Amino acid sequence: MPKVKGEINLFLDLSHKKYGKNEKCTGNSRGDKEKFMGNNVNPARKILLIATGGTIACRETGHGLTPVLDGEGLLRELPGLSEVCRVEVLDLMQRDSTDITADDRMQMARAVWEKRGAYDGFVIAHGTDTLACTAALLHHLLPHIDRPVVVTGSMLPMGAEGSDAPGNLLDALRVAADGRRGVYAVLRGSILRGTNVLKVHSTALDAFVSANEPPAGRVADGSVIWDAPEPAEATPRLVTEIDPHVFVLRLTPDLPLSFFSVLHGFPSVIIETFGGGGIPAHMEQAVRALIADGTRVFLTTQCIEGGVHLHKYEVGRRAEAMGAVSLGMRTVEDALAAIMCGEL
C-alpha cells in the first residue's frame, strides 16, 4: 500500500462561503436549531485524505482530461483556510473512475480499516461517474464502521473556472471532522448516505440526488447540520471476500428471449424492470428457466424514485410466484453491493 504523506495542517474556512443559484442547500435554515445539528468539528481531529483520481484531480492533456493531481496537489488548491482539522494524504491510485474495479474499492476499504486506529475520519477523493458504486460498496464492505468515511468528487477539475471541487472537498473534510460514523458522499452541500447516492446528470454541477431517502444532512454557512440520527452503534468489521459475478439487465419491451441464455451460469442477476416491477408475459418462461437453473433473480425498477412494488400488479405477483426477489427501495448500486457482499 502507498505510504501516507506527512501531516498537513489545514485551515478550512467555510464561514464566508457563498452559495450561488446551483449551490443553495436544501432543507431547514440554521435558525431551526435541528436536534441533529452537528458543529462538532474539532481542529484536533486528524483526517486521512485518500486520493484516487477522478475529475477533481484532472488536467487537460492531449488525450483529454486526465487525472494527474495527487492528494497534496488537491489540498494546495483549496482557498480560504481556517482551522478545522489536521490532514494527511494517501495517494492510493490515480484513475478515471470508469476504470475503478471492485478490487480497487476493496483496496480503499482495506486502507480505511487498517488505518482507522490512527485517524478520526477519512475523505476519499473520487471520480463522479462511479462514485455511487464506490459509496455503496464501501458501506457494505465496512459494516458499522466506527469512523466517518466520506466520498467526494467534482464535475469540474480542481482549479478550473467555476469548479465545484474546492467546495466539495472542503465540505467533505468538514463532515469527516464532525465525527459521525458511517459512509457518506458529500457533494454540493448535501450529505448523502452511501446507500442512496445516485448520479442523475452527466454535466451539471448539481449532478447527484439522494434516491428514495432525504439527504442525511447538509453543510451550510460552514456548519454541518444533520437531518437524521446517527447510525446505531455496533461492532465494525471488514468484509474480505466478495463475488462480483452479478449481471445487471435492463429490460426493453422487445428484448429477444435468446438473450436470457447467456445469463445461465451467473449466480445472481438484477433485472431493471418497468415501473412498479414485473416480468413481461412473453419473457416469463425464460426467467423461470433461469431461476430453475440456480440463478437468483432480483427485480428493481428503471425509475429513479419509488422502488418496486411487486404486490401491486398481476405481472408483479406472477414474478414473485416464480421466485423473483424484490429489491424494494434499493438503488441498483446498493443492491449490487449488497449481493456482492453476500447480504442478499
101 is known as an active-site residue = no
Q: Which three cell numbers stand for residue 224?
A: 454541518
Contact by Cβ (8 Å): 157, 165: yes
Give me the catalytic one of 128, 134, 152, 300: 128
Indicate if 61 belongs to the active site: no
Active site residue 199: yes
**129 is a catalytic site residue:** yes
What is the C-alpha separation between 288 and 323, in angstroms, rounded? 8
Q: Which candidate in 199, 295, 300, 334 is catalytic? A: 199
- The residue from 55, 152, 195, 300 that is catalytic is 55
The catalytic residue among 129, 164, 178, 334 is: 129
Residues carrying an active site annotation: 55, 128-129, 199, 313
